[in-house]
Structure 1
C-alpha cells in the first residue's frame, strides 16, 4: 500500500482520458501522465543501479528502453541514502508538466524528490545539495551546468531517453514517510529542508479541496515554481490528486497569463499579490478575459487593498487571501467566495487549528494579538538534519497533532478569521520568496569598502517588499551604490539584491551597541 499513490491510481482510473498536466511542450492525460511518471521512475532506478555497478549508462531491455522490473526490490539498501533510509533526488526544472511528472516519477521509484531553486547561484545551491545528500539531479540541458556546479550528476530530461512511458507498481509507503523535502531559508539565511510526509500532502490537498469547494472539472493555472511550497502542493499535488487539469507556464509573463486564462478557460489561479498588481496595471487586460475565473488566491505576501479593490472593480474578480508556510504543507487558512472577511487571511482549513499566543505560550483571547500557532495535519515532520531547530519550532510531543510556532504576529477573531499584523522574524517576502537581511548583510560586509551593513524590508506595491541596504564605509574608502548592487548580484539570487543602497556615517544604536533597525528609513 502506498498512502499517496494508491489514491492517485484511483484518480487515474476514473479520469483516464481527461487532461492532466499540460504546458507548451507537453500535454498529458491522466493515463499518459502516469505512464511517463513510471518511465522516469524506471530511468532513475536504472541510473542509480548503473552508478552502483560503476557503469556510466543504465542497461536497456530488448526494446531499447531501460529495464526496470526487478530493480527496485533488487537494489534494496543501495538506494537508501537519506537520514530515514531515503534516497534524495534533486529536481532542477522550470515550472512545467515535466517537473510534475518527475516528482511523481520519484515516488513510483520509491525515492524522495527535493525540488531545487534554479534561480540560486551555484554556491547557494551547492549548500542545499550537500545538506540533502543529493548526488543525482533531474534537470534540463540549460540547467545541467548548474547541477554539475552544485556537485551532482545531471540526469537530463529528453523525449527520446528519459521522458518515456513505462510501468512500475506503486511501492509501499506509509503516511508518515517523508514525501518531499522543500528548502526554505533559515533566520540566518542558511538553508532549512522542510520534511513533509505523504499524510501532510494528502491531508492538505483534501482539506483545500473541501474548504474551497474545488471539483475535478476545474482548470488550474500555475506560474508558481514547484520548488515553492504553494507551487508544489497547491498547484501540483492538489489538482492531480483531485483529477483536475493544471496548466503550467515557466515564468510569470503577464501577456501569457491573460492568453492562457482566456483560451484555456482557467477557473483556479494562485499567485502572490504583486502578480495581481501587474495584471491590474495592464492596459490590454479586459474583464472578459477573466470570465471563467472562479477562485483567485493570493498568498506569500500581504495583499494591498489597492490591488484587491482595483482587481474586483475592473475585472469583477474578488481575490481570496490565504496564509501558510512551507512548514504547514503549506495552506493553513483561506478565504473563500462563500466565507470571506476583508483584511483577513481566512479561516483555518478542516483539521487545522490556528490561535494567537503570548510570550509565555498562553492562548490570547479572541481579537488580541500574539504569535500565531498552527496545529493539525498540515504541520511538517521537521527540518532535515536539524533536530535542535525542529525542537525550537514545534510544540508538543511530536504526536500527530504537532503545533508550529510561525513567528508571525496576528489575531484570531471570534468567528475564527485570522488576521496577520506583523512578523516576529526579520524575514522579508520579496515577490513571494523568503529573504533574510542577515544573508545580504554578510555579503555586503565582505566588500573591502564596507565597514558595516544593515538591511531592512520596505513595502513595495510591485514585489510585496524590497530589500534596502544601509552601509557605513571604511575610513577613506569610496564606492557607489551601483557597484555594491553589482557586487551582491554576483553572489546572491537576483531577488535578494538590494533595490536601494544608502550611505550613513553610523547607525542608530541601542545601549548595547545593537543596530536599531526600526529607526532605519529610506530618505523621503
Structure 2
C-alpha cells in the first residue's frame, strides 16, 4: 500500500506509514536534531532493529517499556520501533521526583528502561529494581549502550497484528505522592489524531518543530501526524525562544505545536518582527489557558494560521478554534471537532440548558481506555448519557454561546498548568504536610507571565514554631519535581474555610494578588 492509501483508511498504523514513506522517499529527512539528520529509509531500518531486539529479549506485544530522557533522535527511534513490535511505551518526565519515577516504572510493568545521562542521578535515587534492564540512549555508562543492544543491521521483527484498541502508550499524570495515574491511549486514538491533522498541511514538504518534551501528549499530537504525513521533524531538547525562531528560519518551518507560555516568550523577543517566518502554514496551541490578547498578537504578527485545541490527554471531546477564521471568538476555545460530542452537565450529572454553565464532558473516537491499573479512578472520570454512551469528564466549567463556541469559565478542579505542565495542588500539599512545623497548608495557582501559572502555598504553622516562609519553601522545593516547585510561601494565622470545612482557595488566590 502507498502512504496515501494507508492515510485514507478508517484505521491504520503509524509504523506502517513510516515504512511506506521509506519506500517512496528513503532519503527524505525524518528526524533532525542539532547537526544530525535521520532519513526515512534509515528510520524504518532502525525501527525494525528496535522491534527485533525487543522480541529477542522476550518483550511481547502488549508488554511495556519506559523511556526517560531528553528529546532526541534515538528517543524517537526507540518509541517508533516499540510501536512496530506492538510494545506499549511509557514516556516518563525527567523532571519527576525519584519516588514518582519508581512508582511509574513499577506501575507500567516496564521490562526495559531507556534513559540518558541527564536523568541518571534521579533514576539511581529512585531505586528501580535491577530486573528492569537499562539501555543508554546516549551511549553513556548509565546503561547498556543502545548500539550494543540493537539487533544486527538488516534484522527484521516477526510480524505483529495490532488491534485498534490495543494500548499505544501510557502517559502519566504528575504526582509526588501515591500512584500517578497512567492514561492508556490506544492505537485507535492516535490514528484519530493523525486523521484530524490531515487537513492542516502535514505532507511530505512539511517541517515541524517539536519544542516540548516527547513525554508530553502536547508534543505527541504533533510529532506523530508530522511523521505520518512524511515530513521532517526538528527536535529541540530544551525550549529557547531565540533558538526556536532561528531553527524556524533555517529549516523553513511550516508547523509547530506550542504552549501559551512559549508563544508569549517568542512574541516578547525584541527582534521578533525582523525574522522571516512566512514559511509557516499552521501553528497550534493546547495544554493551558490561551489569552485572547496573545492570540490576537500572534495573528497580527506571525504569518500562517493559528489553531487552538481544547481537550485532555485522556481524550473524550476536543474543541477546535481556528483563530485565523474566527477573530471575534478569541475569548473561546472554539467549537467541537467533527465527530466529537461535547456536553455540559450540572453537579447531579444532568445536562444543562443552552447558555447555562456546566462541567464539560466529551465523547469521540479518540478516548483513553482508562487509567492503568486504577479502575476506580477511571470510573470517576466517566459520565454516561441516557443511551449509555461513555463520556470523559474534564473537571472544567464552561458555557456554549448561540453559535456553538465554548467559553471556559473556570476549572472545577484546582489543577495548575505551569509552563504547559499539569501541577496538582494536592500533591504539593501532601509534601508540605510532611514538614513538622506545618499545621495546615493549601496551594493555589496564580498568574505568571513566565509560566502562565505558578504554584503558591499558604501555611498555618504549629504553635510555637519559629520556621520562616523562606525556609519552608526551600525545604519543599528540595522534595518537589522541577515543574512543581513553589514560587512563594505565605504564613497565615489560619486558612479561610467554608462552613463545611473546605479551604476557600479563590480567597487565597485573591489575597496573594492583592499583596
Is the pair's TM-score, using the shorter chain for normalization, greater than 0.5?
A: yes
State yes or no: 1:155 paired with 2:139: no
2:41 is aligned to 31
Output one character per residue of 1:10-50: Cα deviation in whole Å (capped at 9) or x when no partner: 3433343321121115311211111112222233333x34x
Aligned length: 487
2:265 is aligned to 278
CA contact (8 A) 1:187 1:436 kept: no
Change (3 A) 1:447 1:179: same
2:289 is aligned to 302
1:235 is aligned to 222
Superposed displacement of residue 312, structure 1:
3.5
Equivalent residues in 2 for 1:98-137 (5 A)?
98-137=74-113
CA contact (8 A) 2:292 2:330 kept: no
Superposed displacement of residue 153, structure 1:
3.0
Q: Distance in 2 between matches of 1:189 and 1:410?
A: 30
CA contact (8 A) 2:354 2:400 kept: yes
Superposed displacement of residue 4, structure 1:
4.2
**Mean Cα deviation higher: 358-367 or 257-266:** 358-367
CA contact (8 A) 2:309 2:321 kept: yes
1:393 is aligned to 381
Is the partner of 1:471 in helix, strand or coil?
strand
2:165 is aligned to 176
2:344 aligned to which of 342, 356, 362: 356
1:415 is aligned to 403
RMSD over aligned Cα atoms: 2.6
Superposed displacement of residue 3, structure 1:
4.2
2:6 is aligned to none
Superposed displacement of residue 318, structure 1:
6.0
**TM (normalized to structure 2)?**
0.87
1:192 is aligned to 181
Q: Distance in 1 between matches of 2:455 and 2:160?
A: 45
**TM (normalized to structure 1)?**
0.86
Q: Distance in 2 between matches of 1:495 and 1:118?
A: 10
Q: Distance in 1 between matches of 2:205 and 2:390?
A: 34
Structure 2 stretches of 5 or more lacking a match?
A: 1-10, 140-145
CA contact (8 A) 1:108 1:169 kept: no
2:3 is aligned to none
Change (3 A) 1:186 1:249: closer
